[in-house]
Chains A and B, each alone.
Chain A
Amino acid sequence: MLFGLCAVAGVIVVLTLVDVVYQLASNGSEAINRFGLGFLIHTAWKPGFNTEGAGALIYGTAFSSLIALVLAAPLGIAIGLYLSMMAPRRVRAVVGPLVEMLAAVPSIIYGFWGLVVLVPFVDHLEPGLHSALGFIPLFGQPTTTGISLLSAGIVLAVMVLPIISALSRDLFLTVPRELKEGAEALGATRWEVIRGIVLPSTASGVGAAVVLGLGRALGEAIAVSFVIGDVSAIHGSVFQPASTAAERIANQFQGPVNALHLSAMFYVGLVLVAIGMLTSIAARMIAGRFDVQRTIGTIY
């Protein structure tokens, strides 16, 4: 009896997942039939003109998430190291939960905060960065708003930082004490223990943690929609506004101009599902013996 209930619950989970794909595909069928796989490449998104392409969205999604990872991965791993290897016990007991608390703040508050606090700050920051690093195309001419890929990347970085730092902290704590002591007894400094023993023996888990953070960044809609501008354009500069797949749906879902427009958004959703599932599988494959996804439930 209980076994039956449990089995039914499991079946519901799997069926839901299958139905997600089905619903998105069937509601997106008009766009899928019309645009085919070219949808993924074409960059023009002109709802009134029956022209929808997700190329710019995918570009913006990848770019903003990449910025987020470039910022959050080293920072998160450093925090994980600090909390697991360096911080005194009392500091760890306070700072650890505070960092995890960053994951509890809802995305709408990050979006709001991003627009009111971060965007003006980035606006101030951009001219300086441009004049210092402008020779790199990445730091091109800034716009006058601060609404940009960079702002989106920073907001996403804040959102994935707690995931990467908490997961990597937990991974570093799994390194057996005997190994760390063995290294210390050979006259190694703490950094040498980290670089030589701790990081190599947890590398796959840390990689998976970063991929999980990436998955979160790729799918974030609300927070990004406040700070990126929802502009279908491909720019090399992080100071330019752009758009992402999830954010585009959030921004335009309430007022589709026609059925094809709505259908195209379902198609974008299907692309997001594929991306999400791929990151889940990738994280699992990279993680190897570490079950990082099991511990994520307690953080986020």
Chain B
Amino acid sequence: MSVEDRTAGAPDAPLPAGRVRIRTEPSLPAITAQAVNGRSAHETREAVFDIRDLAAYYGANCALAGTTLRIYRNLVTAVIGPSGCGKSTFIRSLNRMNDAIPGFRVTGQIQYHGHDVYGSRANRVEVRRRIGMVFQKPNPFPKSIFDNVAWAPRNLGMKRRLADRVEQALIQAALWDEVKDRLHDSALGLSGGQQQRLCIARAIAVEPDVLLLDEPASALDPVSTASIEDLMHNLKHRFTIVIVTHNMQQAARVADRTAFFSLDTAGPERFGTLVEYGDTETIFRGASDSRTRDYVAGRFG
């Protein structure tokens, strides 16, 4: 245990014997950003990702260029921008999800806790084990609810008190009460919102360090969307969260930091690029770039 949790406030009470620690208290200390000497307080945090001059290509097509930013620990970082601006490419580059796409390559660097994600010594499976991901479309496995959550921990050898682990993950994903009586039913029988929360439960069951959420609520109804947004407020105390969203209100509600990507052109080429990155309040109230102001004001995109 080398990294102490610096933000979660009170130290955890000793574990009751034989039980997995349950953490349900909603009274979490607020994470606020107060400018210190012109710098956001967030920027004093430990950087999980240090991304330098990242560009991504599909074959000869450049999808993303010149992206430099840091993503900080235990914050929710939102990635917003018009469609085609490379937000999905960006987030999928963070855990090498695009590796399987023929012709995909990145230039620049993604440092994760100081280690190059695309370095020659980085193991793709290890990267994904630490950096989990939830996708736009709920994609539960055609297995039981229990097995959906238990599958990855089993692979990883986390077999002790597996049922407790599954229960905890489902509780954390705010799904337990709805499914506790039918854990062994097929996950495909759940509603869309439940399926997406199951996918979140599945992701947190292996306790990754980072959760990447690629438009997790875009296919869901408003009620499900609200429940997933609530979830994020609780989960960020345990995970570093990066969320791609096309919904600006959602970014404003859930994110501590917001990165605005937009389409840029160079000759005939069109590619996504990072326009502005800062505290969410700054991006939404006092953006320095006119494109950002136009976008958050709903004038394009």
Contact = CB atoms under 8 A, between A and B. Distances in A.
Check whether chain A touches chain B (CB < 8 angstroms): yes
Interface of A: 88-89, 176, 178-179, 181-189, 192, 196-197, 200-201
A71 B171 CA distance: 48
Given A89-B102, A187-B206, A188-B152, A182 B125 contact: no
Contact of B97 (A181, A189, A196, A201): A181
A179 B126 contact: no
A26 B97 CA distance: 64
Nearest to B147: A196
A196 B199 contact: no
8 contacts: A185-B134, A187-B129, A187-B132, A187-B156, A188-B125, A188-B128, A188-B155, A197-B141
B95 interface: yes
Interface residues of B, number: 29
B139 A196 contact: no
B128 A178 contact: no
Given A89-B102, A181-B97, A187 B152 contact: yes
Nearest to A195: B155
- Chain A interface SS verdict (over half): helix
B58 to A, nearest CB: 14
B57 interface: no
B203 interface: yes
Contacts of B141: 179, 182-183, 196-197
B155 A185 contact: no
Contact of A186 (B102, B137, B206): B206
Contacts of B87: none
B295 interface: no
Contacts of B208: 187
B135 A186 contact: no
A281 B135 CA distance: 40
Contacts of A184: 97, 100, 125, 128
Contacts of B126: 187
A7 B121 CA distance: 65
B203 A186 contact: yes
Contacts of B143: 200
Contact of B135 (A178, A189, A192, A196): A178
| Residue from the set B100, B139, B199, B212 with the largest chain A CB neighbour count within 10 Å | B139
Interface in B23-72: none
B176 interface: no
A196 B125 CA distance: 16
Interface string B287-299: 0000000000000
A188 to B, nearest CB: 6
B97 A185 contact: yes
B151 interface: yes
